């Protein structure tokens, strides 16, 4: 693993001026006075031997708000990710939420001998083309279905929606029987070896099935395949593209413009990865606007100022995270919208969990997945 001084150079941490802009915008710092991105950098530079035992390195939710604001573009999330890797190397065990189920199934999935049975959720009308060189990357959606059945979120609805959109756009894709989790949550929680195992298994599967291009709908999978895989794997030579970037998708949705009689107010929640990391703000909004009868209203904080859904790599989800989620729900509620649309299955899970766990300002708003909504409007159009 790289040395601390290399990481300081890579993440530009030496440019941190201690100005405090990162702390001012950080959603965690707002509720947790002990946490601050700049303080972590300062502690790491002054006392590199003590920083790995500091519990504050586990509070970051990786929303990238700090880097967007930073005048020198210091990549705090990457810096903290490195500190976590080192800390785990030294034997620290983070506290996992959901009883550690996500972490365990990711490790079990990474095993070479694992032969998964993960395509049962695909409905008959959405065919898969096993000879295609293009793959639709599903990620952990079927596994999330198994864990989050009690809060009523079906993550595979998002994947089914995305596949229906691709089918309507005339793009035939394969869905791989032994695709693994992308490893986003493992690497963000500092588990580098788990991430590498998943990555190698995925590359082997893509190569064996003759895949050249990968279409992704989950923003975190997209970030990992697009940014982290080329960084960590020399043999990565696949084209990765997000579903909203596929030109045919925006064309099919334009056809659904026709008869808009029912007005529905919806608000769009920018996921951190699609928003602040890739600056894809307009693509999803244009798609939503193209649904007949949809009126898109913005929340108080939107686009690069959007508040994160509050919990990232399935760990340390506590009262601070709930406060961040409550703030986001309050913003959604005050728009008066009927639905809050997310483009990330994890945002949907986290926000629904917060909504169901206690009373808050937005108990009536429905938290809906974007691809599911888009595919439903498609189905209605076909019936007409």
Partner 1 sequence: MNAGIVVFTCNWDGWSCIDAASSAGMKYPASVNIIKLTCLSSLNAGSMLKAFELGADGVLLLGCLQRQCRYGQFSGNIEVEITKARDILNLLGARSGKIKLSKLAAFDGKGFVEQLQAFINELTAPTLPVKIQTSIEKIHMTERKIIKG
Residues that bind partner 1 (CB under 8 A): 96, 98-101, 104-105, 107-109, 113-118, 142-143, 145-147, 149-150
Shortest distance in whole angstroms from residue 95 CB to partner 1: 12
Could you say which DSSP state residue 51 is in?
G
**In which element (H, E) is residue 213 found?**
strand 213-216
In whole angstroms, give the CA distance from residue 4 to residue 129: 46
Nearer to partner 1, 106 or 332 (CB): 106
Which of 42/98 has CB closer to partner 1?
98
- For residue 384, the Cα-to-chain-centroid distance in whole angstroms is 34
- CB 202 → partner 1: shortest distance, Å? 16
Q: Report in angstroms how near the CB of residue 345 gets to partner 1 at its nearest.
A: 16
At residue 264, φ and ψ (nearest 5 deg) are: -125, 130
| Residue (90 or 117) nearer to partner 1, CB | 117
Nearer to partner 1, 104 or 334 (CB): 104
Contact (Cβ atoms closer than 8 angstroms) between residue 287 and residue 266: no
Alpha-carbon gap, residue 15 to 129, rounded angstroms: 50
Give the dihedral sign, CA 103/109/110/112: positive
Minimum distance from CB of 332 to partner 1 (Å)?
Answer: 29
User: Among 299, 312, 241, which residue's Cα sits nearest to residue 270?
Assistant: 299
| Smallest distance from partner 1 to CB 157, Å | 16
Q: Which long-range contacts (C-beta less than 8 Å, at least 24 apart) are formed by 123-128?
A: 123/160, 125/164, 126/160, 126/163, 126/164, 126/167, 127/167, 128/173, 128/174, 128/175
* 201 in Cβ contact with 112 (< 8 Å): yes
Report in angstroms how near the CB of residue 181 gets to partner 1 at its nearest: 11
Shortest gap between Cβ of 5 and partner 1 (angstroms)?
Answer: 35
Contact by Cβ (8 Å): 333, 361 = yes
In the complex with partner 1, which residue's Cβ is closer, 221 or 240?
221
Q: Which is nearer to partner 1, 105 or 232 (CB)?
A: 105
> Which CB, 183 or 284, lies closer to partner 1?
183
Residue with tokens 């089914």: 160
């Amino acid at each position: 693993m790289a040395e601390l001084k290399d990481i300081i150079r890579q993440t530009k941490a030496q440019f941190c001026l201690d100005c405090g802009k990162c702390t001012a915008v950080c959603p965690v710092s707002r509720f947790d006075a002990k946490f601050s991105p700049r303080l972590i950098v300062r502690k790491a530079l002054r006392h590199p031997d003590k920083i790995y035992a500091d519990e504050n390195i586990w509070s970051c939710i990786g929303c990238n708000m700090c880097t967007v604001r930073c005048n020198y573009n210091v990549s705090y999330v990457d810096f903290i990710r490195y500190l976590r890797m080192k800390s785990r190397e030294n034997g620290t065990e983070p506290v996992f939420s959901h009883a550690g189920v996500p972490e365990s199934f990711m490790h079990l999935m990474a095993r070479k001998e694992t032969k998964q049975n993960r395509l049962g959720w695909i409905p008959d009308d959405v065919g898969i083309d096993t000879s295609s060189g293009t793959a639709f990357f599903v990620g952990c959606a079927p596994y999330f279905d198994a864990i989050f059945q009690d809060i009523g979120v079906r993550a595979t609805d998002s994947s089914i929606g995305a596949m229906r959109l691709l089918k309507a756009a005339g793009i035939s894709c394969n869905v791989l029987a032994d695709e693994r989790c992308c490893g986003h949550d493992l690497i963000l929680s500092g588990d580098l070896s788990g991430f590498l195992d998943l990555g190698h298994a995925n590359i082997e599967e893509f190569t064996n099935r003759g895949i050249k291009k990968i279409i992704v709908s989950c923003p975190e999978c997209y970030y990992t395949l697009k940014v982290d895989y080329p960084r960590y794997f020399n043999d990565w030579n696949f084209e990765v593209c997000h579903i909203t970037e596929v030109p045919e998708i925006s064309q099919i949705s334009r056809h659904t413009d026709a008869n808009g009689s029912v007005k529905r107010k919806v608000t769009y929640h920018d996921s951190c990865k699609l928003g602040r990391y890739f600056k894809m703000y307009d693509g999803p909004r244009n798609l939503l606007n193209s649904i007949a009868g949809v009126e898109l209203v913005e929340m108080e904080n939107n686009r690069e100022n959007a508040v994160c859904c509050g919990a990232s790599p399935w760990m340390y989800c506590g009262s601070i995270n709930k406060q961040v989620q409550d703030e986001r729900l309050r913003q959604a509620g005050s728009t008066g919208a009927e639905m809050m649309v997310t483009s990330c299955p994890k945002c949907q899970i986290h926000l629904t969990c917060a909504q169901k766990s206690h009373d808050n300002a937005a108990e009536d708003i429905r938290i809906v997945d974007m691809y599911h909504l888009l595919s439903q409007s498609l189905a209605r159009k076909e019936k007409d």
